[in-house]
Amino acid sequence: MKRTYKSPSGSPAGTAAEGDLLLRELLVRPFALHLPEHARSPFIFASPHSGSVYPGGFLAQSQLAGPNLRRSEDAYVDELFFSVTSLGAPLLAANFPRAYVDANRAPVELDPAMFDSSLGLPVDATSPRVHAGLGVIPRLVRDGAEIYREKLAAAEAHFRLQQLHRPYHAALARLVDETFARYGVAVIVDCHSMPSAAAAPDIVLGDRYGSAASQILMRTAEKALAAVGFRTVRNVPYAGGYTTSLYGRPSCGLHALQVEVNRALYLDEERIVRSHAFTSTARRIAEAFAAIVSLDPAILRPDKGLGLAAE
């Protein structure tokens, strides 16, 4: 599985599908779903921020380009975790970039001030992520730079949510339903990367402070990652986003664990290319998750009488 950042050779004007081949590509295939040859695990892996197909119209709207526009990408995280398919688990990865529409945000996390007219959509005006410029349609890239030259048409919000955000989550919901029906439990591992820093751990595990996953799952993950040499911490500074809050209901047998990998372990952050350590880091992740997905599903099932109707 090898793929690279895609952008058009020019900067075509407009945002409609006509004349924008990469946007057409996204509309046909907003996500990639990699299925195992034989499903044998209640684990589902998701990568909402590794998408790297940038529509030409979006580039024309943006005052950023190249690596500056890609700062929010969890570049190559889908490749970093691709080995999980050999463990009997599916991997779902967004093809659209986070800077265009963020699959790990609620569809109501919109900033009305970004648009030139009324949205006519539900809006969560209290969201701290919206205030930070990092809503479902971000105003900023992760390093704080403004993305757009001017306000967007309200139709942009409808289009991106309907055509990209919704299909991604519909696919994830189907995987959860199918997995739960088969095993009586489902575990989402939401895969991300984080900017490196001098004191940053190797991996941050987020379970929304114990509300999104069982303690045995968290302890198993910590032990397995430590066994291959990763330094982990819980929930600080990343406790989990929309996916973990939406699906994490351990009392019902639904668990969601966010995994943030330090980019220094696998990425040249300036050029946004795989570093020389990419292969070894991917191998260590594969070894750790081989142990994690071998966890007996019965341990993660809800207590008798606590079914999906409990919430």
Q: Is the pLDDT of residue 193 over 70?
A: yes
Q: What's the pLDDT at 61?
A: 96
pLDDT digits (tens, 9 = 90+) for 133-168: 999 999 999 889 999 999 999 999 999 999 999 999
Burial of 141 (0-12, 13-18, 19+ CB in 10 A): buried
Cβ atoms of residues 218 and 259 within 8 Å: no
Closest CA to 20 of 42, 65, 53: 53
Q: Is the pLDDT of residue 4 over 90?
A: no
Q: Which helix (H) or strand (E) holds 216?
A: helix 215-227
Domains of the chain, first to last:
21-298 (3.40.630.40)
* Partners of 232 in beta bridges: 203
Q: Is the pLDDT of residue 14 over 50?
A: no
Residue 232's φ and ψ, nearest 5 degrees, are: -120, 155
Q: What's the pLDDT at 306?
A: 37
> Sorting pLDDT into bands at 50, 70 and 90, what band is 305?
very low
What's the pTM? 0.92
Q: Residue by residue, what is the 3-state secondary structure of 87-149?
A: HCCCEEEECCCCCCCCCCCCCCCCCHHHECCCCCCCCCCCCHHHHCCCCCCCCECCCCCECEC
* Mean pLDDT, range 70-99, rounded to an integer: 97
Q: What's the pLDDT at 68?
A: 93
Strand duo 273-274 + 267-268: pairing: antiparallel
Return the residue matching tokens 């991997």. 91
Q: Is the pLDDT of residue 118 over 90?
A: yes
Q: What's the pLDDT at 12?
A: 33
Residue 303 is classified by DSSP as P
Residues 6 or more apart from 214 whose CB is under 8 A from it? 250, 255, 299, 300
Find the range with the poorest average confidence among 37-51, 164-178, 296-310.
296-310
Q: Is the pLDDT of residue 285 over 50?
A: yes
